[in-house]
Amino acid sequence: FAFVGPNGAGKTTTIKTMMNILEPSAGTATVLGVDSRRLGPAQFHQIGYVSENQELPGWMTIRELLDYCAPFYPTWDAAFAEDLRRRLDLPLNRKINAFSRGMRMKAALLSSLAYRPKLLVLDEPFAGLDALVRDEFIQGILELAEEARWSVFISSHDIDEVERLADWIGVIN
């Protein structure tokens, strides 16, 4: 599902409400059958979340990041994480702060998928990526979603970015 609209329309605010980062001023949101205000560990173990402003510990390597994240998720799949790391072409022993923006987005995606979430939420993941990296990222998401049978909720201000990715599109203005 692609959630599109111009900059400032409220896409990120809506997603933060869905993820229980912000409390709604009115109305409700339901995620995985649960009121977003009541999301807890059981639901968060099933949600992968990648934001355009995702901050990763730059002093860590990919190996250290994966080792750090794994204990938080009972469904962490180390073999799947390694397969994803190879597909995304991320070096194990280079510090994250030495990565390009595209590589940092791939690292965030990797750490958000290794536990095989049922729902992947991507908030403007293509912002600032060059066309080649964007196309690789889209292709990788399509392949992984097909294999793993998870749902993807992606926000963007550019419908052209998501038209290949989405079966459904919602517009906010």
By CB atoms closer than 10 A (0-12, 13-18, 19+), residue 70 is: middle
The residue length of the chain stands at 173
pLDDT over 70 at 162, yes or no: yes
Report the predicted TM-score, pTM, of the whole model to 2 decimal places.
0.87
Give tens-digit pLDDT for 13-44. Answer: 999 999 999 998 999 999 999 999 999 999 99
Most confident of 63-72, 130-139, 150-159: 63-72
Q: Place 97 in a pLDDT band, splitting at 50, 70 and 90.
A: very high
The whole-angstrom separation of Cα 88 and Cα 65 is: 15
Contact 62, 94 (CB under 8 A): yes
